[in-house]
Amino acid sequence: MTMQNELGAGPRGAGAPRRAAEGGMKMKPQINRMRTKGSEIMEGHYEEILRARQDGKLVAWGFGNPATEILEAMGIVEMHTGNHSARLAAAQVSHLLIEEAMGEGFSADLCSYAKINIGVALYLVRGKMGQLPERLQVPRPDFLFATSHCPIYTMWVEVIRRILDVPVFVIDVPYTYNDDKRWEQNLAFMEGQLRDLVAFLERLTGRPYDWAALKEIQQRLREMSQIRREIQELSRQVPAVRSIFDAIGSFGPSNTASIRCRPEAMEFFKRFKAELEQRVASGAAVLPEGEEVRLGWRGVFPWFIMGHLSRLTAQEKAVIVGSAQYGGRQYGWTGRERLPPDGIDPGQPLKTCAVQLLTNLFHPLTFQQRWQTEVVEWNEGFKLDGIVFHAPRTCRPWSYWSYDLADKAEKELGIPAIVIEADHADPQFYSEAQVDVRLQAFIETIKSRKRARERGKGPAPEQAPEKRQLEL
C-alpha cells in the first residue's frame, strides 16, 4: 500500500505531526463554531482524577466501555484509558509515550491508544510523570477494569497489570455474530459477570453495594439519552448548524468514564441543545460563506490533527456533519428493542448494564450491522454528499471493511466514498500531504459531480469519483 510503504521508510517514533501544508492554505476560512464546549467538563474530570487520592477516592483505569455507572455508584473515579490516550494525542505529546513503550520492546503495530497508555504506565513506575504538563498527568490506579468488546483489551490490560502490579477485573462481552439466537444466553452471561463485579467492588471498598445510587445514575442516563436524541435531530439541519468538530466536544461527557454519569454532564447537554435550538432559529450556519459539500466521517478521528481537518474542510466549503461514532450508538442510544422502551430501566439495574454493554458503540458489529448503522442510517439522516472512511493504521476494527463498505456505498447508494489511511493517535502513521491531497481531490470531485448533475448531464451514480486501490 502506497501510504504504508512511504511511511515505513521513514524513521519510526518520529515526533509530532508536521504542519508543512498548513502554510500552503489558500486563506483562513470562516467557521462559526459552537460556544458550548465539552472541554471544560473534561478538564474538571482529569483534575478530579488527579486529586482522587487526597479526596479519599479509589481510581480505576477503564479499558473499553466498562459499565462505569457500577463504579460511580460506589464513588470510584474511572479514568478511561482510550480517552486519556486521545487527550495526549490531541495535546501533541503522544509520540513521547509511544517512544517509551517502543523502547521497552513493544511493537509500533500495537493499537496507538494501547502504546500511549503503556507509555503512561511506564512513566508512572519510572517517576517520569512530572515530565508531562499537570493537566495531562494521571495517578496510579487502584485497579483495572476492562471489557473485551475489542479483543485487544484483555491483552493491553494484562500488560498494564504487569507494569503496575494492580488487580484486574475483566468483563467478557460476546461478539454480536448470530446475536438473535444467542441473546438470552448473552444476557445471562453478562448479568452473572456483573454480579461478580459488584462483589469485587464490595470486597475492594469494604462497603455494601449502593443500589440506590446506581438507580439514580441510570435514571439520569435515561434522561440524558433523550436530550442527546433531540440534539441529534437538531443536527440534521441543512446547511449544518453544527459540525462534527462541535459534536466531538460532547463525546467525553456522553461516553467517557465517570463524567458521563454526573449531573454536570446533564447540564452540559441541556446547554448544548439550547445553543443548537438558538442556532437553528437564527439560521446560524457552520460555514457562513456557504456550504457546498456535506461529508460523513466513519471511524475514529486522528486526534492530533482535528483543528487542521476542521480548517481544511472549511477551506473547501465542506462540512463534516455526521459520524456514526460521535453522536450515535453511545450509552443509552441503543438497546431499545432489547429493553423497551429506552434501553435503560433503573428498575432492572444489572440488566440495563448488560443490555448496554451488549449493544452500545463499543460493541463490534458484523459487516451487515455496520453497513446498516454506520453507512445507511447516517446517510439517510444527514443527506450526505460523500463519506470519508478513516482506516487507522493501528486500529484494526476501524480499518477492516473500510474498502468493502466504501465500495458498497458507491455501488448500492451511489454515494462517493474515500478511504483515508492515517491513525487515531500515532503521528508516525500519518502523512499530512497524502491525506490533504486526497481529501481535497475527493471534495473537488464531489463538487464537480454535483455541478454536472445540476446541469442535467451528470455521470451515472455507480461511477466512482476516484478509483481507490490498494497497492499489492
Partner 1 sequence: MDDAVKRLVQDFVEVSQDPYRYLASWKQTHQQRLIAMVGMHIPEEIVHAAGALPVTLPHFGEPIVHASFRLQGFFCAYARSVLEAGLRGALAFADGIVLNDICHTIRATTGILERESERMPWLRFLWLPPDIGKPQALAYAVRELEGFRTDLEGVVGHPITDEALWQSIAMYNRQRRLLRRLYQTRRDRPGVLSAREMGAVVTAGMLTPKEDHANRVARLLEMMEGHERQSVRGAVPLVISGSLCEAPPDEILGLIEDVGGVVVDDDLFTGSRSFVTDVPEDGGNPLEALARAYLGMVAPCPTRHRDGWDLGNYLVQMAQHSHARGVVVMIVKYCEPHDYYKPMVERTLEQAGIASLFLETEHEDMEMGQVRTRLQAFVESLRAPRVSERMA
CB-wise, 225 or 431, nearer to partner 1? 431
d(Cα 81, Cα 63) in Å, to the nearest integer?
6
Q: To the nearest whole angstrom, how small is the minimum distance from the Cβ of residue 301 to partner 1?
A: 19
CB-wise, 65 or 148, nearer to partner 1? 148
CB-wise, 401 or 442, nearer to partner 1? 401
CB-wise, 101 or 231, nearer to partner 1? 101
Residues that bind partner 1 (CB under 8 A): 1, 4, 104-107, 109-111, 114, 148, 150-152, 154-156, 158-159, 162, 168, 170, 172, 174-175, 177-178, 181-182, 185, 188-189, 192-193, 196, 364, 366-368, 370, 391, 393-394, 396-397, 399-401, 403-404, 408, 421, 469-472
d(Cα 134, Cα 46) in Å, to the nearest integer?
10
288: which 3 cell numbers?
457562513
Q: To the nearest whole angstrom, how small is the minimum distance from the Cβ of residue 104 to partner 1?
A: 6
Q: To the nearest whole angstrom, how small is the minimum distance from the Cβ of residue 107 to partner 1?
A: 4
CA 309 to chain CA centroid, nearest Å: 16
Contacts of 296 (CB under 8 A, 6+ apart): 320, 321, 322, 323, 324, 378, 379, 382, 384, 386, 387, 388
CA distances from 163 to 10, 122, 124, 200 (A): 30, 7, 9, 22
Pairing of strands 293-298, 318-323: parallel
Q: To the nearest whole angstrom, how small is the minimum distance from the Cβ of residue 465 to partner 1?
A: 18
CB-wise, 182 or 273, nearer to partner 1? 182
CB-wise, 294 or 438, nearer to partner 1? 438
Q: To the nearest whole angstrom, how small is the minimum distance from the Cβ of residue 232 to partner 1?
A: 27
Q: To the nearest whole angstrom, how small is the minimum distance from the Cβ of residue 386 to partner 1?
A: 20
- How many other CB atoms sit within 10 Å of the CB of residue 29? 17
d(Cα 59, Cα 144) in Å, to the nearest integer?
9
Give 141's DSSP letter: P
CB-wise, 27 or 472, nearer to partner 1? 472
Q: To the nearest whole angstrom, how small is the minimum distance from the Cβ of residue 52 to partner 1?
A: 26
CB-wise, 154 or 226, nearer to partner 1? 154
CB-wise, 298 or 370, nearer to partner 1? 370
Helices (H), 360-399: 367-370, 377-382, 396-399
CB-wise, 44 or 192, nearer to partner 1? 192
Q: To the nearest whole angstrom, how small is the minimum distance from the Cβ of residue 371 to partner 1?
A: 9
DSSP one-letter string for 274-333: HHHHHHHHHT--SSTT---EEEEEES---GGGHHHHHHHHHHTTEEEEEESSSSSS-TTT
Q: To the nearest whole angstrom, how small is the minimum distance from the Cβ of residue 149 to partner 1?
A: 11
d(Cα 389, Cα 370) in Å, to the nearest integer?
13
* Strand, helix or coil for residue 393: coil
Q: Would you say how long the chain is, in residues? A: 472
Q: To the nearest whole angstrom, how small is the minimum distance from the Cβ of residue 113 to partner 1?
A: 13
The CA angle 161-162-167, to the nearest 5 degrees, is 35
CB-wise, 196 or 233, nearer to partner 1? 196
What per-residue string of b and e applies to 267-285 under the rule 16 or more CB within 10 Å gives b? Answer: ebbeebbebbeebeeeebb
Q: Which helix (H) or strand (E) holds 450?
A: helix 432-454
Q: To the nearest whole angstrom, how small is the minimum distance from the Cβ of residue 426 to partner 1?
A: 12
